[in-house]
Amino acid sequence: METPTSVTVMGSPVDVWFAACMLARFAPVQGDQIYVRECASAEQESRLIARPEMARVHASLGLDPRRCGAQAVQFWPAGADRSIPFGPIGAPYKSVGFAALWARARLELGEARDLADFASTQPSGAWSIDTSAYTEALKHIATNVGVRRVDEARGFRVMASPTKDAAPDTASVKVGAAALNVSLPQALHLSVLEKTIRVLIDCWSWCPADVQISAAEFARRIDSIRWSFEDMQALLNDVPYSDMSAILRQRVAVWRETSRIAPFDDDAFRPTEWMAAMVAAGMTPTRSGRLAETVSLEVLKAHIDACACREANHAA
């Protein structure tokens, strides 16, 4: 990684213009020194999903997703007719988490409803966005601050996505899907891109003397982001337990034994997302935990039913 004075971002149209906007807004480089080279994308989704945490990014860029044909969503598609909720699931009873209560109701009361059936139907802050309209909005923002489209890369090069007509090894640094060796669904595409560009900006080399240490820190942080996306994909693709990473096996073991999600640093997903993904993959808790066992079965059933009724009323 070098100390850049000019930057060319290469990749699919939506990726390069999003990256250019982020760099122009947050990186120590002038907009008129940022270039984009649009390359043929290996695949282009008609719609992308902006996760709730991207609201601050869009506000910083001056972009309103609703002006790009965005539609509010509460779940993200995870393949094989699976949907993972963005928002909270159920409600705790006093100090007992809902997942533990649900697990006990499933074990002792024969509760048949899926955990995701109790997910909040309130607005989550996530959007499903038309890719073409979103690209045009990003392009407008970027060109207004001097970003230009070029046919040949110049200066420091950033590969923002795998493409058909640009060899990956021509890029100085990879971000987004180009940085991860995993096939990403459209629900996670923007999230990976945003997180990895932030790492690039955080690890920007300010002088020639810190180039090596900046590059090493960039690689370390990209690795820390990669594991949670790879583990989520492994879970959704029904990878055998023996083939899972050590971190994912630990997470699965804790979930099965305690109805909780073990916390790990640099996690890209909320605990409720991991819970819903595990249940969708057929992994349900075998124990509910000591706190859940202190709740009487009558109170437990009433609370579970009340949570289900509340979400049904919200949906209506």
> DSSP labels for 132-184?
HHHHHHHHHHHHHTT-EE-SS--SEEEE-S-BSSS-GGG-SEE-GGGG-SSPP
Q: How far is CA 249 from CA 116, 230, 232, 267, 279, in A?
A: 22, 13, 12, 15, 15
Q: Where are the alpha helices (DSSP H) in the chain?
A: 13-26, 55-61, 98-108, 131-144, 186-202, 211-236, 246-258, 271-280, 290-293, 297-315
pLDDT on residue 206? 62
pLDDT on residue 165? 60
**Cα(45)–Cα(129) distance, integer angstroms:** 10
- Paired strand residues for 96: 93
User: pLDDT by residue for the chain (316 residues), tens digit each?
Assistant: 555 678 999 999 999 999 999 999 999 899 999 999 998 765 667 889 999 999 999 999 999 999 888 999 999 988 778 889 998 999 999 989 999 999 999 999 999 999 988 998 888 899 999 999 999 999 999 999 999 999 988 888 999 987 666 555 555 789 988 888 667 777 888 999 999 999 999 988 766 667 788 888 888 888 888 888 889 989 988 899 999 999 999 999 999 999 999 888 778 899 999 999 999 998 999 988 888 999 999 999 999 999 987 765 544 4
Phi, psi of 173 (to 5 degrees): -150, 150
Contact 308, 144 (CB under 8 A): no
> What's 241's DSSP letter?
G
User: Which residues make Cβ contacts (< 8 Å) with residue 143, sequence separation at least 6?
Assistant: none
CA geometry: angle 92, 120, 123, nearest 5 deg: 135
pLDDT on residue 266? 77
pLDDT on residue 313? 52
Contact 117, 85 (CB under 8 A): no
Total count of residues recorded for the chain:
316
**Cα(257)–Cα(235) distance, integer angstroms:** 18
Contact 84, 277 (CB under 8 A): yes
pLDDT on residue 316? 43
The ranges assigned to domains in the chain are 7-71+125-222, 75-122+233-315
User: Which residues make Cβ contacts (< 8 Å) with residue 49, sequence separation at least 6?
Assistant: 73, 76, 126, 127, 128, 129, 186, 187, 188, 189, 190
What number does CATH give the domain 7-71+125-222? 3.50.50.60
3-state secondary structure of 122: coil
